[in-house]
């Protein structure tokens, strides 16, 4: 069964390159994940996801998201986000899913 990982950022645009890097790892390693990004407005409409990662700019929403969603939620580190470390971000999501 495919696991769905969502990356949320302010507008959904700043994460596109990071999502691309992560999808390259998913494809390379033939992992059964669906990974995409949403803007801040899309967080309230999330359904059937397995983990939510927040960009550093949305760290202030972490507790609210944890309270309203029944999935693991975490903030991506500044370093992994700024350096577009797709493999590290994917590992963070995997660790959250167990």
9 is catalytic: yes
Q: Which of 6, 9, 54, 76 is catalytic?
A: 9
Of the CA atoms within 13 Å of residue 5, those in its CB half-sphere come to 25
CB 74 within 8 A of CB 43: no
Q: What are phi and psi of 64, to 5 degrees?
A: -65, -45
Distance CA 51, CA 72 (A): 5
DSSP 91: H
Active site residues: 9
């Amino acid at each position: 069964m495919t696991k769905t990982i969502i990356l949320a950022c302010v507008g959904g645009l700043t994460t596109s390159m990071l999502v691309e890097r992560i999808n390259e790892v998913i494809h390379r390693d033939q992992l059964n994940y669906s990974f995409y990004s949403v803007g801040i407005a899309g967080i309230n409409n999330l359904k059937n996801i397995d983990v939510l990662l927040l960009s550093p700019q949305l760290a202030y929403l972490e507790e609210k998201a944890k309270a309203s969603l029944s999935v693991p939620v975490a903030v991506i580190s500044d370093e992994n986000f700024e350096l577009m470390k797709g493999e590290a971000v994917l590992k963070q999501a995997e660790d959250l899913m167990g």
